[in-house]
Amino acid sequence: MSGTIRYGSAAAVTSRAPSPIIWDDCPVSTYLADPAAGIHKFDDFKNSTLGIAHATDFISGLGAIAGDINWYVYCQSDKQADVALQADDDGVLFLQTDGTDADETVITTGGNAGGLFKTPSIGTPAKGLWFEARIKAVSITDGDAGFFVGLAQPGEAKDSGGCLGGDASSLADVDYIGFVQLSGDGDALKYAYNEATSGTAQSGAAKTIAAATWYRLGFKVDRLKGEVRFFVDGVDLGDTAAIDISATNANFPSATDMDVVIGFTADGTAADGDGIYVDWVRVAREY
């Protein structure tokens, strides 16, 4: 017996807690004790402050959230109200729109400049990688909006950024791995990954989602199999969604600087108040 008591949700139930199926093999204590071994970050938005020096800072779309993860914030011009910490004991951040077509709101790590860490290298012994976030969408109506949740190259907090390229119906050709909902099919959540300029982005069905419903979206490296595997609410999406990183895979963003990126983009029929709620974000990487 290990003598360790683990708390949290069962592997395949809808719960607020992170999913043990993802996190049971993440040596969080080691990373906290030895920063040279790896990095672990968890933000529940309970210790966060949304700050801008002056309201006019948002004319250029810039702001910051100081908390357990320090976030760089981008909004369309003069839309500071589109990012709001909620009066919720659980700690919730709301990324929203006033209904303007192509209105974008993105939060990211690394000051939008430097990566939080690198993704694993193709064809070498896999380093550990873990990611999960809990989100819900206000609307899943076709034509309303799209969102991305996952890891992406630095600099995606910008106009036509957030991995959606300013068009909520398509993904941008940048480096990313995560989950996406596109406006053309609002209830279709997909897993997706891409190596920029490599050809065709890879994606597949993850789950049919409902509006105003929380989902835990995650992925991790299975070091024994040399794969990245995707999970929704603690359920493994299976072999068809797994990414082989043990051999050549031109579409996987190998050994790439990555930040956490959560982006929301309004499309033509979005209404004022459409958006996504973010309950928490957890990420770790073995060095």
Rounded mean pLDDT of 221-237? Answer: 96
5 CB contacts (<8 Å, ≥6 apart)? none
**CA separation, residue 221 to residues 8, 78, 129, 196, 267 (Å):** 21, 40, 5, 21, 33
Q: Which of 82-86, 126-130, 134-138 has the lowest mean pLDDT?
A: 82-86
Domains defined along the chain, listed by start: 28-286 (2.60.120.200)
Chain segment 71-127, per-residue pLDDT in tens: 999 887 556 678 889 999 899 999 999 888 888 899 999 999 999 999 999 999 889
Amino acid at 126: A
Please give the average per-residue pLDDT across 151-156, as a whole number.
Answer: 96
Burial class (CB in 10 A: 0-12, 13-18, 19+), 213: exposed
Stretch 65-76: mean pLDDT, rounded? 90
Count of alpha carbons within 13 angstroms of residue 247, beta-carbon side: 0
Band of the pLDDT at 1, cuts 50, 70, 90?
very low
For residues 168-184, one letter each, b for 16 or more C-beta atoms within 10 angstroms of the residue's C-beta and e for the rest, the string is bbebbbbbbbbbbbbbe
Backbone angles phi, psi at 253, to 5 degrees: -75, 75
**What sign does the dihedral 180-157-261-54 (CA atoms) show?**
negative
Q: Residue 2: pLDDT above 90?
A: no
